Amino acid sequence: MRLTPQQLEQFDRDGYLFFPGQFSPQETRVLTDAVPALYARREVYNVREKGKDAVRTNFAAHLYSKPFATLARHPRMVQPVMDLFGEPVYMHQFKINGKAAFDGDVWQWHQDYGTWRNDDLMPTERAMNVAIFLDDVNAYNGPLMFIPGSHKRGVIDAQHDTTTTSYPLWTIDGALITQLVERAGGKNGGIVSPTGPAGSMILFHSCLVHASGSNLSPWHRVSVYLSLCAVSNHIRRFKRPEYIAHRDFAPIELLPDDCLLKDYPVALPWKDGMPASALETSSVPIDRSMQAA
């Protein structure tokens, strides 16, 4: 999948691209069917909602689940990011976010790069998310909210919120959010919320300000996020465990476009369990001359 000049222009202007129904129901079902067994595991990589049993985020499934290892190499997910950066990318983070019906909590207003810079010492914002809906997303089950064009503001100073939810986040204060929304159009487009069928895909800039509300509906909203980083822009610190911020900077090798429907070999290095080293952390910056593994 290659982006057109019009799509590149739109991405530069708005900071995101939305592709409704990008994956077929058959392709999406391969992924959806694998989620319950992953969420059932009592492992550190399953972060649960504060005070609840519902999974908020599952990390690193591409290292131990074949369907998600395949998705991590899918050309429809990865090639557009390579085109935007003009170089190979590696997997900085892989997560399956579960906005469970009635239990899915908020994600506060933030930029992804704010966390990647502050926690991981990622040098620049040459990284971004590409996400796929595993459920239909509507106005009621906690859809993503974007402030179009907010990536043009650059990197915003943020506060480390460790109390609102079960997952710490570098968040942006309400006064600045109000300014950004007004600048983007106020009530006339200052906040957008892409909705669509399962299999839809979103690509968005790492400085695009976004959030999502709680899911009070009876419908789950599970999405998979690939956080892809330019190889030259790899992180410089391992402050967070490896299951959250990956340390393998090798370029992703793409599979054929039909990889979710055909059996292609993929590596599953954690299929027999997560190694103890994945829990080790360090606040000391790594050698900046270090090359991709």
Q: Is 265 a member of any domain? A: yes
CA distance 84 to 251: 15
**Six-digit token string for 1:** 């999948």
Give the pTM.
0.91
Q: Does residue 91 belong to any structural domain of this protein?
A: yes
Q: Is residue 146 part of a domain?
A: yes
> Residue 145: helix, strand or coil by DSSP?
strand
The 10s digit of each residue's pLDDT in 244-292 is 999 999 999 999 999 999 999 999 999 999 999 999 999 899 865 554 4
Kind and range of the H or E run holding 19: strand 16-19
Domain residues for the domain of 87 are 5-279
Helix (H, G, I), strand (E, B) or coil at 123: coil
Least confident interval from 33-37, 132-136, 147-151: 147-151
* 47 touches 165 (CB < 8 A): no
Taking the C-alpha atoms of residue 40 and residue 265, their distance in angstroms, rounded to an integer, is 25
Would residue 127 be called left, alpha or beta, if left means φ above 0 and alpha means ψ between -120 and 50 degrees? beta
Q: Identify residue 128 by its one-letter amino acid code.
A: M
Average pLDDT over residues 123-143: 96
Residue 158 binned pLDDT confidence (cut-offs 50, 70, 90): low
Number of domains in the chain: 1
As a whole number, mean pLDDT of residues 124-137 equals 96
**Is residue 137 in a domain?**
yes
Please report the pLDDT score of residue 163 as a whole number.
62
pLDDT digits (tens, 9 = 90+) for 17-44: 999 999 999 999 999 999 999 999 999 9
pLDDT in tens, 61-98: 999 999 999 999 999 999 999 999 999 999 999 999 99
Classify residue 38: in a domain, yes or no: yes
CB 204 within 8 A of CB 16: yes
Are 98 and 165 within 8 A, CB to CB? no
On the question of pLDDT at 177 being above 50, the answer is: yes
264 in a domain, yes or no? yes
CATH code of the domain containing 261: 2.60.120.620
Count of CB atoms situated within 10 Å of the CB of 34: 18
Any domain includes 286: no
pLDDT tens sequence across 1-18: 789 999 999 999 999 999
Q: Which of the four pLDDT bands, split at 50, 70 and 90, describes residue 176? A: confident
Evaluate whether residue 284 is within a structural domain: no
What does DSSP say about strands 221-230 and 210-212: parallel, antiparallel, or unpaired?
Answer: unpaired
